[in-house]
Chains A and B, each alone.
Chain A
């Protein structure tokens, strides 16, 4: 099967007469196989890893009918406000909010949400937690995606991206002394 043709050039029966040397027709395929498999590997890697993933986003429908708006319990709700410079603010409940600062790191807002969730589970035996996501004009799209992602990491059942209210703006102004509405130029 793989032996070289040993009879090539081994003639001696016919004396005299110019004879062209018999050459083997077999070619060493090893480098060709190497190359082919390299290309196969390349195509396999590029095809499977290039597909982007998607996050499913459901925005609350804008309805004028007040009856359709669901009521949420104050003790089960939490508000997170994304601000510029990768910082964020959060407060619990709705009336008498205490604004606190956090960030997007593993020990930042994730721990806060998980803690809140455990509190609710201990109190009511259900994991109903509502998180309202708001963003100042200084926040970036990345922040929004990160926050949505954080919601799925901590498996918060109900969350929504909503507009900032006047109370939120006042709270941040009181805390930082600057209006959150001052947008930085995009792309910086």
Chain B
């Protein structure tokens, strides 16, 4: 009886095509990723069940560390240039051309406006170690609301939509500090804002599933 021979085939597969695809994906993800900007504050946000994501653009971000110091940040270099020019005129504090350029590049800060020129003159590496005392937002000296108003005007002029206000507070910050910040915003009728939180499982959904 003749034997039926099964022809031996190699188990090796050409990986070139697969390699192409995976590197294409890798390049795509690397280019689309936005790295977290340097923040002068460490904020450990509390969690909530809210699933609404924070948008990338058009957010006035007010961070509060656990000591209750408030920091301001706003996206967009052009917007920031407009903001500082507005604030400079409001508080009659002159900024040099170089300082304005540096401010446009700085993501976030937390000093009273009188100290801002000095902070901008520091080298970037010294700026990291500089302890920023936060922006004053009490009723006597409410600079924070000035920054918020200036960014509202600057952003609306650029994109013709109003930016949203987001508060990113540390879970350990005490209530009077939060209250002070909210009161500062409400003094100029900013009544709607976001609280930035981490995601937490929704107990209602857990029961259903």
Chain A residues engaging chain B, CB cutoff 8 angstroms: 1-4, 28-30, 32-33, 36-37, 39-40, 43-44, 46-47, 50-62, 82, 106, 135-146, 148-149, 152-153, 161, 183-184, 186-188
Q: Which of A32, A33, A47, A138 has the most CB atoms of chain B within a 10 A radius of its CB?
A: A33
The reply to whether A141 and B169 contact each other, CB–CB distance below 8 Å, is yes
Selected from A46, A141, A153, the residue in CB contact (under 8 A) with B174 is A141
The reply to whether A54 and B194 contact each other, CB–CB distance below 8 Å, is yes
Say how far A80's CB is from chain B's closest CB, in angstroms: 13
The reply to whether A183 and B176 contact each other, CB–CB distance below 8 Å, is yes
Chain B residues engaging chain A, CB cutoff 8 angstroms: 10, 12-16, 18-19, 22-23, 25-26, 29-30, 32-33, 36, 45-54, 64, 66-68, 166, 168-179, 182, 186, 189, 191-200, 202-204
Q: A29-B16, A106-B203 in contact; A137/B176 too (CB < 8 A)? A: yes
Selected from A2, A29, A59, A145, the residue in CB contact (under 8 A) with B197 is A145
Say how far B198's CB is from chain A's closest CB, in angstroms: 7
Q: Which residues of A contact B182 (CB under 8 A)?
A: 59, 161
The reply to whether A149 and B193 contact each other, CB–CB distance below 8 Å, is no
Q: Tally A-B pairs: CB < 8 A.
A: 173
Q: A33-B19, A53-B51 in contact; A186/B174 too (CB < 8 A)? A: yes
- A59, closest chain B residue (CB): B191
The reply to whether A149 and B48 contact each other, CB–CB distance below 8 Å, is yes
The reply to whether B194 and A33 contact each other, CB–CB distance below 8 Å, is no
The reply to whether B195 and A148 contact each other, CB–CB distance below 8 Å, is yes
CA A50 – CA B56 in complex, angstroms? Answer: 12
A-B residue pairs, 7 tightest by C-beta: A29-B15, A142-B171, A43-B29, A36-B22, A54-B194, A142-B46, A2-B12
Q: A3-B12, A53-B54 in contact; A46/B33 too (CB < 8 A)? A: yes
Selected from A4, A40, A140, the residue in CB contact (under 8 A) with B12 is A4
A-B contact pairs, 30 of them (CB 8 A): A28-B15, A32-B19, A36-B19, A43-B30, A43-B33, A52-B54, A52-B196, A53-B54, A53-B196, A54-B52, A54-B166, A54-B195, A55-B52, A56-B192, A56-B194, A57-B192, A57-B193, A58-B191, A61-B189, A62-B186, A141-B46, A142-B172, A145-B48, A149-B50, A149-B200, A153-B202, A186-B172, A186-B177, A187-B67, A187-B172
